[in-house]
A and B are shown apart, each in its own frame.
Chain A
Amino acid sequence: MHIEFNDLSKRFGDTTALDQASLNVPPGSIVAVIGENGAGKSTLLALLAGVLAADGGLIRFDGLPFSRENLEQRRRLLFTPDVPLMFMERSVASNIATLAFLHDAKVEDHEAELTRMLDETGIAALLKRSAGSLSRGQLWKAFLACACVIRPELWLVDEPFASGMDVIGMGVFRRLARKLADAGGIIVYTTQMVDLAADFSDHVCVLRNGRVVLWETSAKVREMIAAAPEGQENVLRGLR
């Protein structure tokens, strides 16, 4: 999977959420999108997922223009907003089965890994519970199980490190994301924690006022952080 977007813009009334943002993300990479509050991080993810429509610009998946109505493209991506979208009145097991079916994925293909993940996160005990009765952290862990089965080629994750998951859940997320990236997929996640973004990513994208002000490898960003006492703030402002 290779994604590319050019001059992507989005306005909400008088507010410009994204202003001609462009990026070319290579396959097999984890991208951390960071920025100040209101920088346009979540809007970028919603545009890439097709939940919002861009005012201008073009998104391409593997060189082809992305269209929300193109289900072949839609089945290759998984969008996880800050509160994962699950059928709240249904059981966790039913949610995993449903999301897998809609993405043309087979649960039995990943049984061993799914079992291990569910045991590790404690969700195995809650499989028959309705998703609506779970806490936010548990909901995220259950959604990780869905992602484990779906194996998206493009996984768009909004604020996974502010999800309420414990360190076990965070560890599972990291391992799953790395595994998907190693298989050629792309993981784009948002966060506000600069050091964490530099530690867990291949590339860091900094948004400021809707514009991409920095696009660097994580190694370079780690250097920038270490270079000055206010390194993290400088990265967030896009200052090299």
Chain B
Amino acid sequence: MFFHHPDAEANLQRMAANALRGASMEPTDRRWWPRIKAVLKFIGWESMLAMILCLLAGLRDPRLGTAMWRDFMLAGAVLLTTRLSGHRFYWQLQSSPTVNVLWHLPVPGRDICRWGRGMFLRDTLVLLPRMMVAAWAWQGFPAPADAWLQIVGMGVLLWIVMTACVMHDSATQGMGNVVVKAWSLALLVWVVLALYAWWFEKNHHYGQALPGWITALCAPASWLLPAKWAVHAAHDSTALMLTLACIVSGGFMWWRFPDKAAIAYDRLFPDRHFETPGNEADDFSGEDATEEIEQNTSTGVLVAIQHARENESTLIHEGWIEKLALLLLRGRDRETVAILTGTHAGWTRRWWQAVMVCVLLLLTAYVLVNFGSRWIKLETLEAWIIILPLAAVAGLAFPVSNAIPVATCGRPLGNHAMPFFAGLPVSVSDLLRVSRRITIARMAACLVLVLPVVAAQCFILGHERGITVLFGIALALALLWIMIRPMFIYYRLQQMSSPARRFRFGHLAAYLIILPLGLGVMTAGVACVASVALSPAWVLVGACCAQGIYAVFLRRVKTRRVDWISRG
């Protein structure tokens, strides 16, 4: 036996030294496929985002995009990237597995924040190409060989401004200050205008210019977006001053961040360093404990347990949609759903919120259309009258989430939910059956709201003939949504499980089957929207494809190719 191994010792020392410089101590994964996959994923994702950038900026057809509009759209896209990077930064410092370990070690808070800042910088470097694309689009797609210096320079400047903005945002640990709130507001306006532009492009010829009020709104709003300052810094002194102020103050915050943030984190998470799950229970003593012991001992135990179960079962009865869902469920499923939906589903409460918002919006629309024609043109209102109430319904009453979060590993439960589902006697088929019936109840409630809203919209806009067509589309989409439920069960479960065997061909074959089936579902969805009446054939096609996707997954489960604990 070797008691001393100089090579191994030297190797460990080298790894430790590298780790202190930020390198991983894990052995390098030398397999070629994960690397190629990562590169392909990066290229694919960035290409798609670049296309969206160009599309939003109206640069696909130069007649559509004015310079003002282009400034606003591209600067908004850069700000959106900035905010997402900021969220990644918070996550790195608050919830990443590494930081959870670091906060429990005797490491100074400022060192952890410095580490988080370094990781953020490293992760943000990959955004440089996206900034270059934005810079290229900004300059109107000149030949790269002729203008590469300007493109690279502007891209790097955008990246620096973006990093400075994240530091501004981070200075208050995401709690927001006036500047950050202004950016959030600008971002909101940007999203709404981008949606409007998309709708406008779909409904008008490409050659038609955007309405004047959009450019009028973009002009002041675009000055809230730091990327605009950076782009115009070369020829506008105001923009130059703003850019310099942003970079200098961001740089100062970057320098001060480890000290400031460490104090802020201590304030936010006072027990973080030595947090243990048992503290609360260990503190349970004194009169409260005596009283509770007296209540729960002897025959009180059964009463307490039965009361807990009854109490939990009744929580699901909180509204008419919940009751309707329970009506569709029988026997064991009724109890299972009370467990799997969590204690407060909130479907009815959200439905009523949607009703109130829709009534308010439609009343406003009616007043504006009938009495406000002096101040505003009807054609500019039309989009809002259609989009806003339907968006409220989609956000509040559409059965898209919050159905069975415990079973299908809703985000807050994270990795805990899947072993739970795996450990309990609840099958994949149980999940599908419960989920489908809940969706039927919630979709029925949604239609009860959508159909009158659509009718009211047609009435206000004077398109009474369109009501039948829109009803047909709404019914087709509702049916399709219910029928494609198996696909979502597949999506949720495969997301948190992992392939049990490294049998790549089997895995690949499953995806090769799933891909065309997924396309089939999408085609059915598009066809349902495009059809002028209810189209049962397309609903059936969608249902078959979704069932096919689920069947592939179920077969993999039954042939023991799925682990219910994801191993990353």
The residue that A13 contacts in the complex, of B292, B300, B502, with Cβ under 8 A, is B502
Q: Is the CB of A53 within 8 A of B339?
A: no
Shortest Cβ gap from B79 to chain A (Å): 36
Closest to A88 in B: B416
Binds A, one of B16-24, B426-434, B515-523: B426-434
Binds B, one of A112-120, A166-174, A221-229: A112-120
Given known A90-B312, A115-B297, A115-B298, contact A125–B306 (CB-CB < 8 A) = no
Q: Is the CB of A103 within 8 A of B281?
A: no
Closest to B302 in A: A111
Within 8 A of B (CB), among A82-137: 85, 87-91, 93-94, 96-99, 101-103, 107-108, 111, 114-115, 118-119, 124-129, 132-137
The residue that A69 contacts in the complex, of B429, B561, B565, with Cβ under 8 A, is B429
- Whether A44 is near chain B, meaning CB under 8 Å from some CB there, is no
Query: Cα distance A12–B502 when bound, in Å?
Result: 8
Shortest Cβ gap from A122 to chain B (Å): 9
Q: Is the CB of A49 within 8 A of B281?
A: no
Q: Is the CB of A127 within 8 A of B304?
A: yes
Q: Is the CB of A129 within 8 A of B305?
A: no
- Whether A154 is near chain B, meaning CB under 8 Å from some CB there, is no
- Against B, the Cβ 8 Å flags (1 = close, 0 = not) of A128-157 are 110011111110000000000000000000
Q: Is the CB of A93 within 8 A of B284?
A: no
- Whether A46 is near chain B, meaning CB under 8 Å from some CB there, is yes
Given known A52-B565, A69-B557, contact A97–B305 (CB-CB < 8 A) = yes
Q: Is the CB of B281 within 8 A of A81?
A: no
- Whether A237 is near chain B, meaning CB under 8 Å from some CB there, is no
Residues of B close to A81: CB separation below 8 A: 419, 423
- Whether B293 is near chain A, meaning CB under 8 Å from some CB there, is yes
Binds B, one of A33-41, A71-79, A182-190, A192-200: A71-79
Given known A85-B420, A138-B281, contact A119–B297 (CB-CB < 8 A) = yes
Closest to B280 in A: A133
- Whether A216 is near chain B, meaning CB under 8 Å from some CB there, is no
A: interface residue count bin: 35 or more
- Whether B500 is near chain A, meaning CB under 8 Å from some CB there, is yes
The residue that A79 contacts in the complex, of B423, B430, B500, B557, with Cβ under 8 A, is B423
- Against A, the Cβ 8 Å flags (1 = close, 0 = not) of B273-285 are 0001110111010
Shortest Cβ gap from A112 to chain B (Å): 10
Given known A52-B565, A75-B425, A93-B305, contact A124–B281 (CB-CB < 8 A) = no
Query: Cα distance A67–B262 when bound, in Å?
Result: 51
- Whether B481 is near chain A, meaning CB under 8 Å from some CB there, is no
Q: Is the CB of A134 within 8 A of B281?
A: yes
Residues of B close to A13: CB separation below 8 A: 502
- Whether B567 is near chain A, meaning CB under 8 Å from some CB there, is yes
| Candidate in A74, A115, A127 with the most chain B CB atoms within 10 angstroms | A127
Q: Is the CB of A101 within 8 A of B335?
A: yes
Residues of A close to B308: CB separation below 8 A: 90-91, 93-94, 96-97, 127-128
The residue that A135 contacts in the complex, of B278, B292, B427, B562, with Cβ under 8 A, is B278
- Against A, the Cβ 8 Å flags (1 = close, 0 = not) of B192-221 are 000000000000000000000000000000
Q: Is the CB of B296 within 8 A of A124?
A: yes
Q: Is the CB of B565 within 8 A of A134?
A: no
- Whether B46 is near chain A, meaning CB under 8 Å from some CB there, is no
The residue that A136 contacts in the complex, of B277, B301, B335, B419, with Cβ under 8 A, is B277
Q: Is the CB of A51 within 8 A of B419?
A: yes
Residues of B close to A102: CB separation below 8 A: 336, 339, 424-426
Q: Is the CB of A107 within 8 A of B281?
A: no
Q: B interface, by DSSP: helix, strand, loop or mixed?
A: helix
Residues of B close to A71: CB separation below 8 A: 425-427, 430
Q: Is the CB of A127 within 8 A of B305?
A: yes
Residues of B close to A53: CB separation below 8 A: 500-501, 560-563
Shortest Cβ gap from B504 to chain A (Å): 12
Q: Is the CB of A135 within 8 A of B276?
A: yes
Within 8 A of A (CB), among B276-324: 276-278, 280-282, 284, 289, 292-293, 296-302, 304-309, 311-312
Shortest Cβ gap from B213 to chain A (Å): 48
- Whether A55 is near chain B, meaning CB under 8 Å from some CB there, is yes
Q: Is the CB of B292 within 8 A of A50?
A: no
Query: Cα distance A220–B498 when bound, in Å?
Result: 41
Query: Cα distance A126–B311 when bound, in Å?
Result: 17
Shortest Cβ gap from B458 to chain A (Å): 45
- Whether B406 is near chain A, meaning CB under 8 Å from some CB there, is yes
Given known A98-B309, A115-B299, contact A132–B425 (CB-CB < 8 A) = no
- Whether B558 is near chain A, meaning CB under 8 Å from some CB there, is yes
Shortest Cβ gap from B551 to chain A (Å): 13
Query: Cα distance A136–B236 when bound, in Å?
Result: 63
Shortest Cβ gap from A28 to chain B (Å): 23
Q: Is the CB of A125 within 8 A of B423?
A: no
Query: Cα distance A128–B293 when bound, in Å?
Result: 10
Instruction: Give the A-binding residues of B (Cβ under 8 A).
Output: 276-278, 280-282, 284, 289, 292-293, 296-302, 304-309, 311-312, 335-336, 339, 342-343, 406, 416, 419-420, 422-430, 500-502, 557-558, 560-565, 567
Instruction: Give the B-binding residues of A (Cβ under 8 A).
Output: 11-13, 46, 49-55, 67-69, 71, 74-75, 79, 81, 85, 87-91, 93-94, 96-99, 101-103, 107-108, 111, 114-115, 118-119, 124-129, 132-138
Known pairs A85-B424, A126-B284, A127-B292 / 14 extra A-B pairs, C-beta < 8 Å: A54-B560, A69-B428, A71-B425, A89-B343, A93-B307, A97-B306, A99-B424, A101-B339, A115-B301, A118-B301, A124-B297, A135-B282, A136-B277, A137-B278
Task: List, sorted by A's number, 24 A–B pairs whose CB atoms are closer than 8 Å.
Answer: A49-B423, A50-B422, A52-B564, A69-B427, A69-B557, A71-B426, A71-B430, A79-B423, A85-B423, A87-B339, A87-B406, A88-B416, A89-B342, A90-B343, A94-B309, A96-B308, A98-B312, A107-B302, A115-B298, A128-B292, A128-B296, A134-B277, A136-B278, A137-B278
The 3 A-B pairs of least Cβ separation, nearest first, read: A135-B278, A97-B309, A93-B308
